[in-house]
Amino acid sequence: MNKSKTGILLLLSGILLLPVCSNQASADDQAKTGTKVELVISRWAGPHADDQAAVASVGSQKALDVIFQKEAMPTFQHVSMNSEIWAEDFSDTTAGKTLFAAVLVPGGSTMAMSENGQEARRMNSLRGVLIFFHGDYLYEVMNDETTDFPGLRDLPRAELVKRLREELLSDLAGMTFR
């Protein structure tokens, strides 16, 4: 498991989300399954009544969508400008209102493959993202599946998205909040 710290300043439709600290942990199991899970937790200015009122004024769904579009998507597009949103929806979970998105990132895997003696190319990556507020924190739980592995490359888009969603919701169900 790798850990790193980063700071993020995010202006959300006039709402300032000011994380004091962001911790990132990732567990990489790509060698066996092609799946990687990552968790980013950012402390934001949420416990203050003004900040909570600001999020409430635009709605948590709109706030989560803006965070996804302004923070997560540019990260994927930095890897590949051809990144494409395959699915985006909202649901109520044990953590509250949650945004799920699935994004195809062409050439976005850290793994490469060579076929028939051709030059190796980076494999495609399908990234799943859950974003939600809980208490004083903004959570982003991400997973990554390399879609070029045998058995995955022939699955329909809806099945790949369903797998990512179920894995992320299972991860969320296993989280304990204090």
Long-range contacts at 73-78 (CB < 8 A, ≥ 24 apart): 73/103, 76/103, 76/105, 76/108, 76/127
Nearest to 126 by CA among 105, 140, 112, 107: 105
Beta bridge partners of 91: 98
Residue-range domain boundaries for the chain? 2-111+123-173
The whole model's pTM is what?
Answer: 0.71
**Helix or strand run (H / E) with residue 32:** helix 30-33
Closest CA to 60 of 118, 114, 12, 110: 12
Tell me the pLDDT tens digit for each residue of 81-117.
999 999 999 999 988 889 999 999 998 888 888 777 8
Which ranges constitute the DSSP H helices of 44-152?
49-58, 60-67, 73-79
Task: For residue 123, give the DSSP letter.
Answer: P
Name the residue type at position 127: R
Q: Give tens-digit pLDDT for 126-169.
A: 999 998 888 777 888 888 888 888 778 888 999 999 999 999 99
CATH architecture of 2-111+123-173: 3-Layer(aba) Sandwich (3.40)
Q: Are 125 and 149 in contact (CB under 8 A)?
A: no
Helix axes 49-58, 60-67, angle to 10 degrees: 90
34's tokens: 């092609």
